[in-house]
Structure 1
Amino acid sequence: MSAVVRGDAKPASAADGQTTTVIPLHVQVDDKPDAQVLRFHCDWDIGIGGSIWTSGQILAEHLQSQQARYRALFQGKNVLELGSGTGYVGLMTAVCFEPANVFLTDLASHVACLERNVALNASVLRPHVNVHVTELAWGSTVHETALLEKLGDDNTHIDVILGTDVAYLRELYDPLLHTLRHVASQHTLVLLGLNRADTDISFFQRLELDGFEYYKISEDQLPTEYHGKDFGLFEIRRR
């Protein structure tokens, strides 16, 4: 199978005078005659995580354009999205790559929005793909342990961690890195979409100090309209 993803709507903004909107995402899967349409309820009332941001769009487009490369990493595997917000990237991967489990996680204030978007797209998700919505406050050992316990088998691990715009404030670095240390194994691939304008170099220095190595994905693998911009995608693994 292969997939083509195309977003048809711009993210909502408070400046538009509306606090809620629904954004469609078209996913074309080869073994289906028509495009699958995912819909995402966005709600500014719950904060900045209630909308879809550019880094999420870039990561989603990158994943679909490199589907042959990523399919073996996702299909039948366990995928965790940190700071899911609307669940945009996580649900897209659920449809495109058919992982065994997708864990959409965020603060308690965002759980209802995530649950609403999972329900909104239930007819598009395949029965063998399990999507879980879980509260996860970064830095909470209780939440991190509860998440890992959902995997069941002691030999099972998180295969892929996704995150977009997760390091836009320095005060997030400590709790985010705490969570990565706890849930990422030696076999885990972390894919982050970041705005380099608001992600300090100290974040990457902290990654290295905490035993991770990172690789910046080449700009030519990003959508052309973002070449030369402040956005970047990064692969991160434990050393």
Structure 2
Amino acid sequence: MVSLADLTPPRSRSNSVSTTKSDAALPSFESLAPPRPPTTKAEEETHVRIEGLQDVVRLKVDAGPGCGGIAWPAGEVLSRYIAYRHGLDPSHLRNKKILELGSGTGLVGIVAGLLEPSAEVWATDQSILLDLMRSNVELNLTNSPNHRPNVLVAEYNWGEEVPSDIPIESIDMVLAADCVYFEPAFPLLVKTLCDLAPIDKEIEILFCWKKRRKADKRFFMMLKKHFNQYTVEDDRPGQKEVYNRQGVSLVRLVRKK
């Protein structure tokens, strides 16, 4: 088990929030990113077209809670990748238990649920975003073949224990898009990934992000201690070159022994 003390970032000269004592507990994710009241209006909706789905994905968006309530490029890249792979071989998602981290609008989890009705998906984020995700699940999955949405919404704050309503031992796949944006939360995200992928567990982790700041390198330095990263090479021909030019990367993470 990885502790927060193990992931405490080194002393920094920047003004970013951090702790410099190796035995100091890090603050919670909620305390680092305090929520704000939602600002979404009924007409604030965006549509995302994913090849492989019959209809567009309808998303209510909300800038009130911060960047989490908006659809970002990495989420679309990851959604299109799992749709392309599912079109080639549906067994990748069939009967799988899938957890999405930092779901925000719920886009990636909703796409997974729409692609494969037999899959069970948990879309997770801070409490302030849960109503937004529930609204988006209802918009897109009320007419699911199962007669019930197979995407479940749950609160999961990085660095904390996995919620009891998420069967962590049974999770087959972890999806994460645009989660690298808030430097003080880097150690919390690494700890969460370690909790979800203990050593020797067979689990697929797909991690997609857009390169924005030099500080993001600190996250991958922390991550490298626990995971190997492998660039996804089996996307639709030509797609990787397109999103790479936009600064987006898609990798598989494999826990180090």
1:25 maps to: 48
1:57 offset after TM fit, Å? 1.1
- Which residue among 153, 170, 183 is the counterpart of 1:157? 170
**Structure 1 residues 111-138: Cα deviation after superposition (integer angstroms, max 9, x where no partner):** 1101111111233433176221100110
Distance 1:73 1:184 in 2: 18
Native 8 Å contact 1:63 1:70 kept in 2: no
Native 8 Å contact 1:62 1:223 kept in 2: no
1:222 offset after TM fit, Å? 2.8
Distance 2:52 2:78 in 1: 18
Native 8 Å contact 2:123 2:153 kept in 1: yes
1:193 maps to: 208
- Residue type of the partner of 2:45? V
Alignment of 1:127-166 (within 5 A): 127=146, 130-141=150-161, 144-147=162-165, 150-151=166-167, 156-166=169-179
Native 8 Å contact 1:165 1:194 kept in 2: yes
> Aligned pair count?
210
2:122 maps to: 103
Native 8 Å contact 2:209 2:248 kept in 1: yes
* TM-score, scaled to structure 1: 0.77
2:121 aligns to what SS in structure 1? strand
Q: 1:195 to 1:227 in 2, by over 3 A?
A: closer
Native 8 Å contact 2:78 2:108 kept in 1: yes
1:216 maps to: 231
2:25 maps to: none
- Residue type of the partner of 1:207? L
1:189 offset after TM fit, Å? 0.9
Native 8 Å contact 1:27 1:38 kept in 2: yes
Distance 1:167 1:138 in 2: 12
- Residue type of the partner of 1:184? A
1:223 offset after TM fit, Å? 5.6
- Residue type of the partner of 1:232? S
- Residue type of the partner of 1:173? F
- Which residue among 217, 221, 241 is the counterpart of 1:205? 221
Structure 2: gaps of 5 or more residues: 1-38
1:45 aligns to what SS in structure 2? coil
Distance 1:99 1:126 in 2: 9
Alignment of 1:15-164 (within 5 A): 20=41, 21-26=44-49, 35-68=54-87, 71-127=90-146, 130-141=150-161, 144-147=162-165, 150-151=166-167, 156-164=169-177
Distance 1:124 1:29 in 2: 17
1:140 aligns to what SS in structure 2? coil
- Which residue among 193, 197, 207 is the counterpart of 1:180? 193
- Residue type of the partner of 1:202? R
Larger displacement relative to structure 2 (229-238 or 200-209): 200-209
Native 8 Å contact 2:97 2:120 kept in 1: yes
**Structure 1 residues 83-102: Cα deviation after superposition (integer angstroms, max 9, x where no partner):** 10111111011111334310
1:157 offset after TM fit, Å? 1.9
* TM-score, scaled to structure 2: 0.72
1:221 offset after TM fit, Å? 5.6
Distance 1:27 1:194 in 2: 18
- Which residue among 214, 222, 245 is the counterpart of 1:228? 245
More helix by share: 1
Taking every aligned residue pair, what percent have the same amino acid on both sides? Answer: 26
1:145 offset after TM fit, Å? 4.3
Native 8 Å contact 1:81 1:90 kept in 2: yes
Distance 2:238 2:95 in 1: 25
More strand by share: 1
1:81 aligns to what SS in structure 2? strand
